[in-house]
Amino acid sequence: MDIPHTMKAMVLEKPENELKLKQLPVPEPGEKQLLVQVLACGVCRTDLHIIDGELTSPKLPLIPGHEIVGKVVKTGPGAMRFKTGDRVGIPWLGRTCGHCRFCLDQKENLCDAPLFTGYTVDGGFAEYTAADENYCFAVPDSLSDAEAAPLLCAGFIGYRSYRMIDESARSIGLYGFGAAAHILTQIACREGKKIYAFTRPGDIKAQNFARELGARWASGSEATPPEKLDAAIIFAPVGSLVPAALNVLKKGGELICGGIHMSDIPSFPYSLLWEERSIKSVANLQRRDGEELMQVAQKVPVKTRIIPFPLRKANDAVTLLKQGKVEGAVVLEI
Ligand SMILES: [Zn+2]
Ligand SMILES: [Zn+2]
- Ligand 2 centroid distance, CA of 11 (Å): 17
Quick one: which ligand is closest to 102's CA? Answer: 1
- Ligand 1 centroid distance, CA of 226 (Å): 44
Quick one: which ligand is closest to 114's CA? Answer: 1
pLDDT, position 326:
84
Q: Where are the domains of the chain?
A: 6-150+285-333, 156-281
Q: Is the peptide bond between 301 and the residue preceding it cis, with omega within 30 degrees of 0?
A: yes
**220 DSSP β-pair partners:** 199
- Ligand 2 centroid distance, CA of 191 (Å): 24
- Ligand 1 centroid distance, CA of 30 (Å): 20
- Ligand 1 centroid distance, CA of 132 (Å): 15
Tell whether domain 156-281 is in CATH 3.40.50.720: yes
CATH topology of domain 6-150+285-333: Quinone Oxidoreductase; Chain A, domain 1 (3.90.180)
Q: What is the pTM of this model?
A: 0.94
CA geometry: angle 300, 159, 124, nearest 5 deg: 100
- Ligand 1 centroid distance, CA of 140 (Å): 28
H/E stretch holding 182 reads helix 179-190
Cα separation, 330 vs 333, in Å, equals 10
Q: Hey, do 6-150+285-333 and 156-281 end up sharing a CATH topology, with the first three levels equal?
A: no
- Ligand 1 centroid distance, CA of 295 (Å): 26
Residues of the chain with confidence (pLDDT) below 50: none
Distances (CA, A) of 256 to 173, 197, 214, 326: 10, 15, 21, 23
pLDDT, position 124:
98
CA geometry: angle 7, 11, 16, nearest 5 deg: 170
- Ligand 2 centroid distance, CA of 154 (Å): 6
- Ligand 2 centroid distance, CA of 91 (Å): 8
- Ligand 2 centroid distance, CA of 47 (Å): 7
Quick one: which ligand is closest to 109's CA? Answer: 1
- Ligand 2 centroid distance, CA of 170 (Å): 27
- Ligand 2 centroid distance, CA of 245 (Å): 23
Quick one: which ligand is closest to 95's CA? Answer: 1
- Ligand 2 centroid distance, CA of 152 (Å): 8
- Ligand 1 centroid distance, CA of 87 (Å): 27
- Ligand 2 centroid distance, CA of 226 (Å): 32
What is the pairing mode between strands 33-43 and 128-132? antiparallel
- Residue of 332, 334, 333 whose CA lies nearest to 43: 332
pLDDT, position 2:
87
Name the residue type at position 205: K
pLDDT, position 140:
84
- Residue of 96, 95, 76 whose CA lies nearest to 84: 76
- Ligand 1 centroid distance, CA of 182 (Å): 31
